[in-house]
Amino acid sequence: MTEGQAEGHALRCCYIGMTMAASLPLTPVERDDLYYMLLLKDIGCSSNAARICQLFLADDLAFKRDFKTLNESLPQVLHFVFTHTGLKAGLAERFRALVHTFTAGNITHGLIETRCQRGAEIARQMRFSDAVAHGILDLDEHWDGRGLPLGRKGKEISPLAQIALLAQVADVFHTASGPAAARREIAQRSGKWFDPALSARFAAIAADPAFWQRLASPDMERIVQDLAPAEAEGGVAEDFLDDVAAAFAEVVDAKSPFTSGHSKRVALFADLIAEELGLSDEHRRHLKRAGLLHDIGKLGVSNQILDKNGKPDDDEWVAIRSHPGLGARILSRITAFSDLAIVAASHHERLDGRGYPHGLTAEALGLDTRIISVADVFDALTADRPYRPAMPIDKAFSIMDRDVGLAFDPDCYAALKRALDRAERLRSAAA
């Protein structure tokens, strides 16, 4: 979603990479690592979205998608620049953005470095192996040493990264222009981007029409699930799931400078409310995860909209209003988090029915959603926003007071106030 690729890009890359791996001399452990690395290769990509937008004043989703299909020939570069930079900006700003684009060599370097490093860190936080993290770190390195960010060359590059980069190029070109374009692109970049042996491997599997038929299958999710490494005995530990939720919260919060730390703070405020309401430890754990993941759908909204300094226009509103639904769709597909989908779906609804996206009313809004809504709005008011600086707590409360019973649940709101009062008393007692 954040890379602006056609839906299912990571799944298809996983299928391509694992199909290649079947005939490569990898150990079983390397093969398992490759599987996860292929799925997580873009996990750091949200962290450069804001910079891309600022530098190029363009819609970061469309920009990232087309940047990948850009060949290095000049007419195409120019066409790309004129169709993708400063699309909605005024002329003067647009000119500045163009200058940036023409001098963008070093900037691109920085963007890719950020993305790779953040991606590797997040994979480690989710307890994946060093090999997985390393693969993500090396994703944009090229066989001839002219890749980024370190210019690693040949066998210095993580073998997982090499397979993933090839799979990525194959999927992007296949999706844009079909099998022949994908085969041509992989062959042309052999020895430059890719190990020639790997390109030859791809040419061999690409000669089989069944490979392309499966790649276009609407059943890709199941195909990839069938390729998954055997799961460890005993299921997944709860504290591991907490780490996964926290790591994804960072992916979401890294997307925009204005949401930095937002999900983590919403989780904290939700937990304070839950404690005041005397909820069980298990329930509190669930709510913390809900706070961490409530905005995960924002990954699918362009930063040009999220970071806008001014009122969103009609189209932009449509995009913003899509984030609860997108979030619910993502979470409902993850067994361990599927019960959080309802909170993601309805965290912008109001008791009086004037919220979005569905205008639900009080009867449809459960306790968890009510708690997250209060925590969410409180944090939104007390943090910096594109269009105004952070607000003092008293002022935030005076604004929220007006909406009690209309937007927010009175009990949850009162609980937040009590909890913050208590925290303040503890703090002054300690001072």
The nearer residue to Fe ion, 295 or 409, going by C-beta atoms, is 295
The nearest distance, CB 348 to Fe ion, in angstroms, is 6
| C-beta of residue 371 within 8 angstroms of C-beta of residue 266 | no
Calculate the alpha carbon distances from 430 to 118, 249, 268, 423, 427 in Å. 36, 31, 21, 11, 5
Nearest approach in angstroms of CB 291 to Fe ion is 9
* Rounded Cα–Cα distance for residues 108 and 18 (Å): 29
Q: What are the Cα distances from residue 11, in Å, to 62, 123, 165, 171? A: 20, 17, 14, 10
Smaller CB separation from Fe ion, 33 or 376: 376
Give the active site residues: 298
Q: Which helix (H) or strand (E) holds 248?
A: helix 238-253
Q: Which residues touch 377 (CB under 8 Å, ≥6 apart)?
A: 400, 407, 408
239: which 2 tokens? 């504290």
Kindly report whether the peptide bond that precedes residue 357 is cis, defined as omega within 30 degrees of 0: yes
Of residues 320, 284, 324, 287, the one with CA closest to residue 305:
320
Residue (295 or 368) nearer to Fe ion, CB? 295
The nearer residue to Fe ion, 295 or 316, going by C-beta atoms, is 295
DSSP structure class, residue 277: T
Sign for the CA dihedral angle at 229, 231, 236, 237 comes to negative
Q: In the complex, which residues of this chain contact Fe ion (CB under 5 A)?
A: 295, 376
Torsion angle in degrees (nearest 10) through CA of 279, 282, 283, 287:
120
**Closest distance of CB 263 from Fe ion, Å:** 7
Q: Using CA atoms, how far apart are residues 260 and 250, in angstroms rounded to an integer? A: 8
The minimum distance between CB 385 and Fe ion, in angstroms, equals: 12
Nearer to Fe ion, 277 or 328 (CB): 328
Q: Which of left, alpha, beta for 390 (phi over 0: left; psi -120 to 50: alpha)?
A: beta
CB of 290 to Fe ion, least distance (A): 11
Closest to Fe ion by CB, 60 vs 376, is 376
User: Which residues, in sequence order, are CB contacts of 317 under 8 Å at separation 6+?
Assistant: none
Q: How far apart are CA 89 and CA 101, in angstroms?
A: 15
Beta-carbon contacts of 2 under 8 Å, excluding residues fewer than 6 positions away, are: 42, 45, 46, 49, 61, 64, 255, 299, 300
- Closest contact distance (angstroms) between CB of 181 and Fe ion is 38
Question: Could you give the CA distance from residue 336 to residue 285 in angstroms, rounded to a whole number?
Answer: 13
Minimum gap (Å) between residue 84 Cβ and Fe ion:
27
- What is the smallest separation between the CB atom of 369 and Fe ion, expressed in angstroms? 12
Which is closer to Fe ion, CB of 182 or CB of 296? 296
- Nearer residue to Fe ion within complex by CB, 133 or 344: 344
Q: Read off the tokens for 200.
A: 């030859």
